[in-house]
Amino acid sequence: MSAASKIIIQMNQKIGGTAWEIIPSEASKYAYKKRTMYGALAISKGKKGFTLAFVGTLDSTFTKVFSYCKTGYKSKENIAEKDLEAMFMNWAKNYVIANQAGPELIMIYREGLSKEQTKMQVPGELSALKRVIAKIGEKTKTANYNPEVLYMTVTTKNSARFFDFPQSMANNSNKFIPKVDNPNSGTVVFDELTLDELYDFYMAAQRVTEGTCTPTHFLVVHNSSKMPQESIAQFTYEQCFNYYNWTGAVKVPAALQCANKLAKLVGEHIQSNVTEGEVLNTFFFL
């Protein structure tokens, strides 16, 4: 694809168009059969401290987004619950306006935390989300409103490496020499190297042709849904193709890639909060 075509795609997205959408596979249809909103939190260090960015989807095809960004935090671990609640609340308001109903399934990918930071920060984030869910039930006048919630932390920098052995070959001395290759796009590892106390998995969403592939680690820290593990992995993989700055797969789901892009844009260049205005419902950060 030419540079001009890529620029046109960016322009199309920024004015509210849709360059493409994912056709769900049978394994990922659980999320598509419900009113699902999925979003992502990313944090980046900028010129005025840490910047927390959020990007969440608003429609059934996960192509329309809401974004929200605050900067000036002194550390990753001390994000105020009121800020998170305001972030989630604005997302929920936009979703309800667009769909005339509250979500049945909420999925959130959270990047930028170590294992110890996860134990410190995620409980507060879940508390903020639960308060927002209660407010959604009140606003929509839905009795016993209790949507399914799936909350995952994401780590792209880790020491894990996986290899594929597609075929073997022998040299002139008839010695066996295995041919080692990177795993194919979509390779998921559930067992053996994953943590025992929490459900997690590694995914190689991209096909790496140079060097070794570093898989992305997903840790499910809260799950009140009935979504099967394979469906979670498949949905996650498919959303890696929904980032409009790249025509293939990226390492993480599109919303998280967008949140990273937004955090860096605000932290390094805008250097002020982006929390209101019509621009929040566009891909202005692409």
Mean pLDDT of all residues in 77-89: 90
Per-residue model confidence (pLDDT) at position 4 = 85
Local confidence band at 200 (pLDDT 50, 70, 90 cut-offs): confident
Local confidence band at 191 (pLDDT 50, 70, 90 cut-offs): low
Query: Hey, what are 189's tokens?
Result: 């590892």
* Domain 3-159+214-281 bears CATH identifier 3.30.420.10: yes
Mean pLDDT of all residues in 103-121: 89
Residue 277 CB contacts under 8 Å (≥ 6 apart), including other chains: none
Q: Which of 13-22, 28-37, 60-69, 136-145 is least confident?
A: 13-22
| Residue 44: strand pairing partners | 51
High-pLDDT (> 90) share of the chain, %: 55
Local confidence band at 171 (pLDDT 50, 70, 90 cut-offs): low
Q: Does residue 193 register a pLDDT over 80?
A: no
Local confidence band at 119 (pLDDT 50, 70, 90 cut-offs): confident
Antiparallel, parallel or unpaired: β 199-204 and 148-155: unpaired
Of 130, 114, 89, the closest CA to residue 222 belongs to 130
Question: Greater confidence, 175 or 279?
Answer: 279
Average pLDDT of the chain to the nearest whole number: 88
High-pLDDT (> 70) share of the chain, %: 92
Of 15, 20, 24, 23, the closest CA to residue 1 belongs to 20
Antiparallel, parallel or unpaired: β 199-204 and 187-189: antiparallel
Q: Does residue 259 register a pLDDT over 90?
A: yes
Per-residue model confidence (pLDDT) at position 132 = 96
Q: Does residue 147 register a pLDDT over 80?
A: yes
Per-residue model confidence (pLDDT) at position 176 = 61
